[in-house]
Amino acid sequence: MSVIKVKVPASSANIGPGFDSIGMALNLYNIFSFEEIDRGLEIIGSLEDKKAKDHLVYSSMVKVFERVGYFPKGIKIKIEASIPISRGLGSSASCILAGVIGANKMAGSPLTQEEIFKIATEIEGHPDNIAPALFGGFVSSLMEGEKIYYNKIDISKGLKFIAIIPDFTLSTRRAREVLPRVISHREAVENVSRLALLISALSNGRFDLLRPALKDKLHQPYRGELIEGFTALMDKIYDLGALGGYLSGAGPTIMAMIKEEDFGFIKEIKAYLESISLGWDVKELEMDLEGAQIVEKP
């Protein structure tokens, strides 16, 4: 039987003050292959230590099959993963999207791109990773009851993104548990102002505004506490000339935005991490503009 191959980019959500509402796709990919087989469920290269039926890719496929009324006899899933798990780089969103896109294709493509977006967002619970991973680029999104709005934003050229990836995981569930239920009106105004400043600065290339624009009162101060040395590392990336820094998604990855022509930053941040005995991974990334793709047609 024919194989359906789906390639999904990593994504970095929240981006400073944009908690649950903005994200961008990055050029790091998970590749998923799907095949309808005679019976059973086979998962090769699993990203999760879970029983096959509870696997996020498979459970996302089942949601689509139930919705469209297609019932395959058996499924084989192969995963070639490059996106690190539970690090704030959209590994879960990639699994959900791949499952939804793969199942839709298997069922003869009855769903539109908008329906794929809606189902995947319902499974994830928030759209800020799903939207960029599906559509590519930098995407803002809003959930209003049943409706989800999104808009792709052109951001000025001239930036590179350096992901500083800790050697430990942080589950989104735990990272959401530490968030406050209520914040003050003044803090809300501050976040709205910073988000407006951030979007405008990224749009017209005022990269000098990124540092104040990327501060946040909704999640970073609380989640930063879960990451030893977070504040010192944020200070360090600015010392080394970064234009901006923020906690990627639910963390623990810290993302530095640097000038395209800054060739020294990576070496220096690696040397710093070594000097404090942290064997964390550092990846230089660019924005992915394509989003999720079916790469091999049967």
Q: Write out the residues near ligand HSE by the rule CB under 6 A.
A: 13-14, 19-20, 126, 128-129, 172, 175-176, 219, 249-250
Nearer to ligand HSE, 17 or 72 (CB): 17
Q: How far is the CB of 175 from ligand HSE (least distance, A)?
A: 6
Nearer to ligand HSE, 34 or 230 (CB): 230
- Which residues are CB-neighbours of 191 under 8 A, at least 6 positions away? 17, 19, 216, 217, 218
Nearer to ligand HSE, 20 or 35 (CB): 20
Nearer to ligand HSE, 14 or 140 (CB): 14
**Could you tell me if 57 and 94 are in contact, meaning their C-beta atoms sit under 8 angstroms apart?**
no
Q: How far is the CB of 80 from ligand HSE (least distance, A)?
A: 22
Q: Which helix (H) or strand (E) holds 224?
A: helix 220-224
Q: How far is the CB of 205 from ligand HSE (least distance, A)?
A: 26
Sheet holding 244-247, edge to edge: 244-247, 254-259, 159-165, 281-285
Tell me how far CA of residue 235 lies from CA of 90, 113, 136, 244, in angstroms. Answer: 25, 41, 30, 11
Q: How far is the CB of 47 from ligand HSE (least distance, A)?
A: 15
With vertex at residue 57, the alpha carbon angle to CA 51 and CA 59, rounded to the nearest 5 degrees, is 70
- Which residues are CB-neighbours of 261 under 8 A, at least 6 positions away? none
Q: How far is the CB of 176 from ligand HSE (least distance, A)?
A: 5
Burial class (CB in 10 A: 0-12, 13-18, 19+), 70: middle
Nearer to ligand HSE, 81 or 294 (CB): 81
Q: How far is the CB of 78 from ligand HSE (least distance, A)?
A: 25
Nearer to ligand HSE, 4 or 250 (CB): 250
Q: Report helix, strand and coil shares of the chain as percent, to nearest 5.
A: 35, 25, 35
